[in-house]
Structure 1
Amino acid sequence: MNVIRSLLIAAAAAVLAAPPAAAQTAPKLKVGLMLPASGTYAALGTAIENGFKLYVAEQGGKLAGREVEFAQVDDESDPAKATDNVNKLLKRDSVDVLVGSVHSGVAMAMAKVAKDTGTPLIVPNAGAAAVTGSMCAPNIFRSSFSNWQPGYAMGEVVAAKGHKNVVTITWHYAAGDESVRGFKEAFEKAGGKVVKELSLPFPNVEFQALLTEIAATKPDAVYTFFAGGGAVKFVKDYAAAGLKKSIPLYAAGFLTDGTLEAQGADAEGLLTTLHYADDLGTPRDKAFRLAYAKAYKVQPDVYAVQGYDAAQMLAAGLTAVKGDLTRKPEFDSAIENAKIDSPRGAFTLSRSHNPVQDIYLRQVVGKENKLVGVASKALADPGQGCSM
């Protein structure tokens, strides 16, 4: 009898001493990464993924106590496939959170699905106005920029330099059109005039006819938006046409971010505007650049920063709800009110969930986008059409 009693006491003690079941079996957090792994934007997708995973690794592979597991889809920068791709992540992989994408058309499709399903979405690049404009929602956030922001800042810069007549050239899709619109708004507000708006379909890189038209127009300057492989070819073609020496080229910073190695000397001296530069020199940025280079054997660019900050934003929301994503209003509110300690400099979010951030003027020196100064301080996208 005493033996039985002793066994019962020992068993009860073991139960009491054991950690709570919830602590042992906290469900994994499934993050769906929908980024380009092929095509002109593949390198951008890789940098975003690396940045996101670096922050998670720095937290020991967990956010708010939940181990992070990734499901991934190559979105191919193809808006026509975007809805099917995002539904694969939601229905096949049962992800808790969506992160993507680079291409604005793809991101808009993701935003529609996220808004319809209530799934948290963090956009780590695509700057389409609609995402934090007419499609804004409590569960949709951006860790990057709006297309309007770098364009508007550069419009102010070009006007301040005394240029009066400008030609713009870009791909004809949301990112390019909205970047040009931001530039034009600021430039013409300051008394300048956009005399011609040139474009070609994404991702076409046959620039020669348009470069000939620029040469014939003889503007004071050119403003452009291109990124990835298209940015490499445009910079090289612009120089080869002899235009770099005669007509100054200004751009949103994507023209020279992640592309300088391939552009070589043709990019030297170019001025661009963006929310990051290669030599900010702050302790936060230095630590990030060192950690990224150690992990991936390359230097980070703006895309890596945006991925890193997307993970920071997710962590801010999860920490507030102790990892419980069923507490959606609290999760959303925590991200909305967070101050993100970014390598680019601390930023907050606007009412429409777009970063309110400094936009820097940078100049290409060798293989770096060197800081010249702040082009626009704490620039907030107007969030037109957002009803939140």
Structure 2
Amino acid sequence: MKKPRLALLACAAVMAVAAFPACAQSASKLKVGLMLPYTGTYASLGNAIENGFRLYVSEQGGKLGGHEIEFYKVDDESEPSKATDNVNKLIKRDQVDVLVGTVHSGVALAMAKVAKETGTLLIVPNAGADALTGPLCAKNIWRTSFSNWQPGYATGVIAAQKGYKKAMSITWGYAAGTEAVKGFTEAFEKGGGKVVKDLTLPFPNVEFQALLTEIAAQKPDVVFAFFAGGGAVKFVKDYDAAGLRKSIPLMGSGFLTDGTLEAQGASAQGIVTSLHYADNIETPRNTAFRNKYAVTYKTMPDVYAVQGYDAAQLLHSGLTAVKGDFSKKDELYYAMGKTTIASPRGKLAFSAAHNPIQDFYIREVKGNYNVITGVAVPALADPARGCKM
């Protein structure tokens, strides 16, 4: 079984005489491969995730579970066709011990298949593809973000509670969007509503006008949208410019307005979303995190930064439990599954499928903040349909 590379010659010498075998664990470097988008629509998300991960490592004195961290980076370009080659660069060329990635669900699915085949520990800090903790679930695959079903479902609960009866959805036609819409539809129709039409366009297309015209003609009670990054900015601004913001309420998974509010400006005001994080969670843990992040990176953190931060927390928790012995994989994974993370988002536990169990908040855009107005669903767990471990 592959072990982290020894970093200190002194410790290597000690190992040679087998005097103190535990020394190897505390003195070795753990190779972490960051496979994230650093260009394109999701570039800001990838940077925030890396910043969050590095922030937690720095808070631990540059180590996780006694290991110094050696980083390797690959820009996945949010391109599924390049995903297998990119992940193999990290596993085969760089021989990383841990994979951290990614944002785009299609890319993450390819990463998971390779991780499952090679037994490489994969921690997913964003991509919500349901299959990652469903049919593709494995003891070495973990997620510190959400399943696509979760925020979609929570938003459907809110829409039904508001008394809306007829809804339309709009998203990119890829895993993240279609699965979020399924979650929304499940909860909304369980609450007495009906989704009359699902509108899609290819990722990363942002030519929304024809679909906005169709929404205006259908006149639903509410529109559910799943977009993120640059696409979310343009959609929200186009929705407003089309005159729809004041006549048809716009709701969405929280990514619609997370990390995008400054660019969306007045067009985002009043939008209601659901997510597992919000700017105004008033706890000492979140306040300390936000202050430290702001000082370190000269900008405020968003949900993506939190998910990267918690990816490092999860790894640290597992390594600490096994006293830094990365070779004890089964014990490491058992410890990770039993951990409860004190996250900036609140209490974070993990299901048997390794997906977060977490509160989903009701959030409303007020000024430059996603402000919590309540809890949509407490301790929401993904159903993990198709998971067999």
**TM-score after normalising by structure 1:** 0.94
The residue that corresponds to 2:189 in the other structure is 188
| Partner Cα separation in structure 2 for residue 79 and residue 323 of structure 1 | 34
User: Which residue identity does 2:143 align to in structure 1?
Assistant: R
Q: CA deviation at 1:191?
A: 1.1
Structure 2 SS opposite 1:196: strand
| Partner Cα separation in structure 2 for residue 279 and residue 203 of structure 1 | 31
Kindly, what percent of the aligned residue pairs are identical? 70
Alignment of 1:377 onto 2:374: no
Structure 1 SS opposite 2:225: strand
The residue that corresponds to 2:23 in the other structure is 23
Matches within 5 A, 1:215-254: 215-254=216-255
Cα-to-partner distance string for 1:65-88 (whole Å, 9 max, x where unaligned) = 111010000000001000000000
Matches within 5 A, 1:119-134: 119-134=120-135
User: Which residue identity does 2:184 align to in structure 1?
Assistant: F
The residue that corresponds to 1:8 in the other structure is none
| Higher CA-based Rg | 1
| Partner Cα separation in structure 1 for residue 147 and residue 245 of structure 2 | 28
User: Which residue identity does 2:61 align to in structure 1?
Assistant: G
The residue that corresponds to 1:10 in the other structure is none
The residue that corresponds to 2:98 in the other structure is 97
Matches within 5 A, 1:276-291: 276-291=277-292
Change over 3 Å in CA distance of 1:190–1:21 after alignment to 2: closer
Q: CA deviation at 1:112?
A: 0.5
The residue that corresponds to 2:324 in the other structure is 323
| Partner Cα separation in structure 2 for residue 97 and residue 198 of structure 1 | 38
| Partner Cα separation in structure 2 for residue 59 and residue 191 of structure 1 | 49
User: Which residue identity does 1:54 align to in structure 2?
Assistant: L
Q: CA deviation at 1:20?
A: 5.3
The residue that corresponds to 2:387 in the other structure is 386
| Partner Cα separation in structure 1 for residue 155 and residue 259 of structure 2 | 19
| Partner Cα separation in structure 2 for residue 323 and residue 171 of structure 1 | 42
Q: CA deviation at 1:23?
A: 3.4
Change over 3 Å in CA distance of 1:351–1:20 after alignment to 2: closer
The residue that corresponds to 2:81 in the other structure is 80
Alignment of 1:172 onto 2:183: no
| Partner Cα separation in structure 2 for residue 365 and residue 30 of structure 1 | 41
RMSD over aligned CA atoms reads: 1.2
Q: CA deviation at 1:22?
A: 6.3
Matches within 5 A, 1:264-343: 264-343=265-344
The residue that corresponds to 2:145 in the other structure is 144
User: Which residue identity does 1:108 align to in structure 2?
Assistant: L
| Partner Cα separation in structure 2 for residue 355 and residue 21 of structure 1 | 35
| Partner Cα separation in structure 2 for residue 152 and residue 92 of structure 1 | 40
| Partner Cα separation in structure 2 for residue 86 and residue 320 of structure 1 | 28
| Partner Cα separation in structure 2 for residue 75 and residue 372 of structure 1 | 36
Structure 2 SS opposite 1:114: helix
Structure 2 alignment gaps of length 5 or more: 1-13
Structure 1 SS opposite 2:343: coil
Cα-to-partner distance string for 1:235-269 (whole Å, 9 max, x where unaligned) = 00000000001000000000000000100010011
Q: CA deviation at 1:21?
A: 8.2
Cα-to-partner distance string for 1:20-60 (whole Å, 9 max, x where unaligned) = 58638822110000000000000000000000000000000
**TM-score after normalising by structure 2:** 0.94
User: Which residue identity does 1:115 align to in structure 2?
Assistant: K
| Partner Cα separation in structure 1 for residue 21 and residue 274 of structure 2 | 52
Structure 1 alignment gaps of length 5 or more: 1-14
